[in-house]
Amino acid sequence: MPLQIARPDQSVIVPLYGRVESAVAPGGDYLPMWVDWDDIIGVPYDIPVVGYGGKTVNYLRLFAAKASQNFDMAIFNHGDYIRAVQRKIESEMVSKVLYPTESVSFGKELRLVQEYFLVACGLRDITRRFVAQNKNFEEFADYVAIQLNDTHPALTVVELMRYLVDERRIDWEKAWDITRATCAYTNHTLLPEALELWSVSLIEKVLPRHLQIIYEINSRFLKKVEGKYPDDNEKLRRMSLICEEGIKKVRMANLAVVGSHSVNGGSALHSELVKTRLFPDFHELEPDKFNNKTNGVTPRRWMLKANPPLSSLLTDTLGACWITDLSKLHKLDGYMNDREFRARFMQAKQDNKIRLANFIKATLDVNIPPDAIFDIQAKRIHEYKRQLLNVLHIIHRYLEMVDNEVEPSSAQAFIFAGKAAPGYWEAKQIIKLIHSVANVINNDPRTKGLLKVAFVPDYRVSLAEKIIPACDVSEQISTAGTEASGTGNMKFAMNGALTVGTYDGANIEMLEEVGGDNFYLFGLKQEEVEKTLREGSYHPRGIYNHSPEIRQVFSALLENRFSPDEPDLFRWVVDKLLSDNEQYMHLADFKSYCEAQKQIVKDYSDKELWSGKAILNTARMGKFSTDRTMQEYAEDIWNIKQVKG
């Protein structure tokens, strides 16, 4: 990449594997020695990021993994070229392979090495800069703030302790105070499986000194807990950094919480659930460290750059003030009934829809009518985000048209985009189902011009910049209590899309901003989902028995209407969704979702009504700018004061 500036002079040595030898310092203190380690070289590459207006240039620093010894001539001279370059191949894999599957031991080990590699490179870079300022390490937290984005960089807590204790010879307690004052933790998911657990044996193999430090942190922490809650062994078990059940594992989320001075979620609901569902014991112990920072997105990228027709209209109407202060969008209230403004707003939407329709035609050879409702779900493919619920409704709409002869008042185009982890079987099957349903519907002459389905491949930022401005209806349909926040929901609404969504994540705060008349809310709330699952009272077969619509959809799947050449290909969908263990409760929300979709079609047919709703969504998204979010992080967590320029 031409804008990547290599900085080999600032390369970092990253130690791995080896063993720890016990020694005694001259003063009699314990002196552990990490010896016989292998190493990888982290070579920094800087990408300049120019701020809006061009007055500031920041640098995004990435690290490439290189072997310390690229070629073994002795092995090569024996005729084994592959073994001669094996070290180079294995080392460079660390920064070349994205999301290795953890279903095999090699994949797990590579993932752990990757996480430590990036932590070690980043922290070494930070400390190098700090040392160059000739500051005292007791002031470290006054100059450095490290935000742990989920548990993937949680090893930062341990690596910083290792650096301060082993390399700087700082007393443990003082080093711990520095570490906690420096680190803060943002939780990004409520799903238990996403809270990383690394086996003790694997950490001992890859990072033997770090395991020692983890045990020491845990021992001191549990003594503190025991002092406050004597004889509560269950609390000690839950709060321990080590999970003792079965194979011993390190709880990286617990490590991140214990090693940070601040813990936050990405939306008001999420942050509350972080306190009450994920970390209730930690919240009880240190309630003041928990807080909320609702996510935001940048209007410079997702409006100004991605949507020139709308941006031009906003600037003509409001001036350029909205670009750096999104709260100024509230001034659009004065133009809600302005006929010319409404016409230009909807023309901007139409221009974007035509652009996306042309792209889909060129990419997929699918004709999307630009006057259709562009109903879009663009996000990571996951069961909790419920692309399956969307597909069930699409099948229902199709069967209504071709079997029940119900003609819709507005044409609909259902557009999907998103990626998934390569080892996630269900996600890949959902993608296959979407394609199979699309193939049938798009080639059925009975639905021509009325119903289309498209899965746009290779989802990426440049594609999102085409998809988001063209959206009429934004699908934010996760099971309530599973989505931490969402940011796609904000991007779509900023660009004049209406949301069909559950009472989940940042949807709740968006609903509060736009009002219930301008948001298609459906489904169970988080407390209803939790109560149902806790009591074991979710029985989807009962819902199936009382819903002719669901029975019709499932019959179509079982009769192979969408997989005529692959019998029973989608039987798993029926079996899964009828199981009492189906934790995302698709069928519980199906009827409510279909009713919301019917209301959408009805409202869209009234162009004046729809344009007003769309404009109001754009006007009410000022809260969801990253400018507001970053200011809150700076003031509340990082203790950064604003510089007047």
As annotated, the active-site residues are: 188, 379-380, 385, 487, 491
Q: Report in angstroms the alpha-carbon separations of 440 from 418, 446, 562, 563.
A: 21, 11, 6, 9
Of 147, 153, 164, 124, give the one whose Cα is nearest residue 252. 153
Q: Contact at 8 Å (CB) between 492 and 473?
A: no
Distance, CA of 515 to CA of 454 (rounded, Å) = 31
DSSP state of 359: H
Q: How many CB atoms lie within 10 A of CB 335?
A: 18
Enumerate residues 6+ apart whose C-beta is below 8 A from 512. none
Distance, CA of 133 to CA of 189 (rounded, Å): 37
Q: In what order do the strands lie in the sheet with 290-292?
A: 146-149, 183-186, 263-265, 290-292
CA distance 176 to 259: 8
Longest CA span, the chain: 89
CA–CA dist 254, 50 (Å, integer)? 37
CA distance 195 to 32: 30
Burial of 102 (0-12, 13-18, 19+ CB in 10 A): middle
Closest CA to 190 of 283, 99, 273: 273
Nearest in space to 443 (alpha carbons), one of 429, 455, 453: 453
Task: Look at strands 263-265 and 249-251 and give their pairing.
Answer: unpaired
396-409 as b/e: b if 16+ CB within 10 A: bbbbbbbeeeeebe
DSSP state of 441: H
Q: Which of 300, 284, 215 is nearest to 250 (CA)?
A: 215
C-alpha closest to that of 432 among 445, 443, 450, 420: 420
- Candidates 109, 100, 120; CA nearest to 203 is 109
| Residues 366, 442 contacting (CB under 8 angstroms) | yes
CA atoms within 13 A of residue 312's CA, in its CB half-sphere: 8
The total number of residues written for the chain in this structure:
645
d(CA 93, CA 111) in angstroms, rounded, equals 11
